[in-house]
Amino acid sequence: MALPIEGATLHSDATCPDEEQVLINRCLAGEPEAFRPLVQRYQRVTFAVALRMLGSRADAEDVAQQAFADAYAALDRFHGEGRRRAFYTWLLRIAINRAKDLLKSKKRTEEPLSAEAEGGHAMFAHDPGSPEAHAGQAEERRRLQAALLTLPPKYREVLVLKDVEGLAYEEIGPILRLPITTLKIRVLRARTRMRVALGEAHR
């Protein structure tokens, strides 16, 4: 299960691709109000991804809002072709690119790669535990988010998509426009960096 976030992450597993395409076609035919259900369906997850990337609610709100504006303006270039979660993954690509642009504008640069991956376990794997264990979950979320923000954007984005949102590599590939082999290596390296960051936080 994914890392808990504020507000439930909304995936589109139960959504028919044809239903979304109908809404998009209505928008393209001059019915802008048909875009509203898509905003309502994905606004929470888009904000959540932006928040994980940026660490700032205000910045995340701006990025999420701009991502929807960009998506609406580019609807004529969207080709879902009946693929599962096509609009969802396309929207996340836009949101992540907007977040990375904002990070660049703030002159946050990547650190040189210094650690190779050695493990394959998700950094944000969820263990239900007992009710008593829930007391420390808020602090654990803060600790994970703080560590996540120390990672360069290229590692941050793959962890957000793979370990937080729980997307398959086949879904992440089109979002980041990277081959699956590259994604797997990057996720492993990102998890290693997270372990280092979490270890340093305890010192």
Mean pLDDT split into 10-residue runs, the chain, 203 residues: 38 63 95 96 96 94 97 93 87 96 73 38 50 64 89 95 94 95 97 90 53
Predicted confidence at residue 114, as pLDDT, reads: 36
Fold match between domain 17-105 and domain 131-201: no
DSSP per-residue letters across 72-128: HHTGGG---TT-TTHHHHHHHHHHHHHHHHHHHHTT-PPPPP-------S-TT----
What is the spatial distance between Cα 28 and Cα 24, in angstroms, rounded to a whole number? Answer: 6
Selection from 15, 59, 63 nearest residue 38 by Cα: 15
Sign of the C-alpha dihedral computed for residues 8, 105, 194 and 132 taken in this order:
negative
Sign of the C-alpha dihedral computed for residues 77, 98, 201 and 197 taken in this order:
positive
What's the burial of 9, exposed, middle or buried (CB within 10 Å: 0-12/13-18/19+)? middle
Domain layout of the chain by residue ranges: 17-105, 131-201
Q: Torsion angle, CA of 145/150/152/158, rounded to 10 degrees?
A: -20
CATH number of the domain located at residue range(s) 131-201 in this protein = 1.10.10.10
| Global pTM value | 0.76
The CATH architecture one would assign to domain 17-105 is Orthogonal Bundle (1.10)
